[in-house]
Amino acid sequence: MQANDEIPGGSPVRDGSDVNGQTVPVLKVESVAKSFGGVRALRNGRLTLRSGTVHALCGGNGAGKSTFLSILMGLIPRDEGRISLKGVDVHFASASEALRHGVAMITQELSPVPELTVAENIYLGREPRKFGYIVDFGRMVEDAAALLKRLQFDVPADAKMSEITLAQCQLVEIAKALSHEADVVIMDEPTSAIGEHEVHVLFDAVKRLKQSGTAIVYVSHKLTEIFEIADEYTVFRDGAFVETGRICDIDRHHLVRQILGHELNSSTLGESTAGADVALAVDSLSDGETFSDITLQVKTGEVLGIYGLVGSGRTEFVETVFGLRRARSGSIKFLGEALPAGVPKESIRRGMAMVTEDRKVSGLVLCESVGHNISLSALRKVSPWGFIRAKAESGIVAAMVSKLRVKCASPAIAVENLSGGNQQKVVFARCLTTNPKLLICDEPTRGIDEGSKQEIYAFLRDFAAKGGSALVVSSEAPEIPQVSDRVAIFRGGRLARVLGTGEISQEAIVNLAS
């Protein structure tokens, strides 16, 4: 593959023509660079975007993608380089200026106004008005409803944002960006908070946008999505452009190698656990609302995967096992002893730890340091008389930073300044300070790059190989076979089937969950 910005082969899309009749891309970025405090965050950032295409921007955490997109949207100034829109050089000073020129962005972090309606959120700051100054709420709801219907997003326009689901909030953010009728739409991890049904709805909307001539920059750590939706791709690594080309010319292995900069080290699952002791035994567990009559076991040295669509009860089940929710009926035994319902403190004391679904909401104290986040679950160890012993705390932190290979300038920096992959490693490090025998992981690789995913897979397998057990929930069908010894399939709040090692395949998992 050529390391340049010319897409080999195929018929060019007519974005526009210059004076010589040559095709002009809708967006062309050349040699963009940015430094922060003398540290080079981006060098030689390049991208050629054509009308009516989806262009995947790929790279691990720290590759420079966020800096590149922030420059495109005018959120931060560039130090060097050139950006042209339909052949005309541009230099946006703000996101609103970029939007006025037809460049819109859907960010990974949702920012709804909870007490306003869906329609008010979509048209916030540009509400239709009567007589030039009175907000026309009726028309606004009608316009929003028409937009949502056109996109085939099942979201009520007059509902408050606080009343709809997280997946619906993500669809509203997408609709808000698309309501600007932009020529260029940047989608940064648009599926991170939605289920498979909503992903299909989104992809259908993206295909319709392509047909209308809209150009889309698509950022996702989910490689399966990239190969399904993208036409072209560009890879960044270590803050620099690496390669570009057509998706149809490469395979997953090639893309992973370019993202990581080396061959992927494949590792195998652990030995059979057929004769192993039972670490966790759940019998006829129900919460009366989201799941019922779940019976399964996790053995010592085993990674048991749980797969199910949104609404299948998978998250509610593991939260109940850990004690965050109270069961209506059934029993839980851990290491042979009954576990009291709804008491997470007791679960931790007996040797459980949980990596929650959303690290930023329930896994980390973002404004606190990396060190304080890691030692949070081990405060009793480092403060026997109520005062934290700094030396003991720093020893635990240093050991965990090394063990999990957390990349940070210092444990004293705020954890919010780390990449998503390193933030997730901090969550795992905090869990390990309690010396758990069972790790419950809900979406442990959500929103992190391929390299960090593989490190977490390897860690979980190593944890099991050393006598621990893990219960891993994932909504990514390609991920489950990589990490699981057995897989429990949830469907409609019930356990559909448990697949053994020889039965696990992506096709089987998806079919049973649907």
Q: What pLDDT, in 10s, does the model give residues 307-319?
A: 987 778 999 999 9
User: What is the model's pLDDT at position 120?
Assistant: 94
| Separation CA 323–CA 90 (nearest Å) | 54
d(CA 67, CA 317): 38
Q: Could you say which DSSP state residue 357 is in?
A: S
Q: Is the pLDDT of residue 62 over 80?
A: no
The tokens of 203 are what?
């992809």
Residue 420 is predicted with a pLDDT of 81
Question: What are the CA-CA distances from residue 205 to residues 175, 178, 200 (Å)?
Answer: 10, 10, 9
Q: How far apart are the C-alpha atoms of 214 and 465, rounded to whole Å?
A: 49
Q: Per-residue pLDDT tens for 321-351?
A: 999 999 999 999 999 999 998 899 999 999 9
Instruction: Give the DSSP letter of residue 363.
Output: I
Is residue 377 within 8 Å of residue 434, measured between CB atoms?
A: yes
Residue-wise pLDDT for 404-416, tens only, equals 888 888 999 999 8
pLDDT digits (tens, 9 = 90+) for 4-16: 443 333 333 335 5
> Tens digits of per-residue pLDDT, 201-243?
888 888 988 988 999 999 988 888 899 999 999 999 988 999 9
Condensed to tens digits (0 to 9), the pLDDT of residues 388-405 reads: 788 888 889 999 999 888
DSSP conformation class of 432? H
Residue 265 has pLDDT above 80, yes or no: no
Do strands 215-219 and 54-58 pair parallel, antiparallel, or not at all (unpaired)?
A: parallel
Containing 510, the helix (H) or strand (E) segment is helix 506-513
What's the mean pLDDT in 274-300?
90
In which order are the strands placed within the sheet that holds 469-474? 352-355, 438-442, 469-474, 303-307, 486-491, 494-499
Q: How many CB atoms lie within 10 A of CB 380?
A: 8
For residue 221, which amino acid is it? H
Give the chain's domains with CATH numbers: 1-102+182-264 (3.40.50.300), 109-181 (no CATH), 266-351+436-514 (3.40.50.300), 364-429 (no CATH)
- Give one DSSP letter per residue of 47-100, joined into a string: EEE-TT-EEEEE--TTSSHHHHHHHHTTSS--SEEEEEETTEE---SSHHHHHH
Residue 44: CB atoms within 10 A of its CB come to 16
State the pLDDT confidence band at 264, using cuts at 50, 70 and 90: low
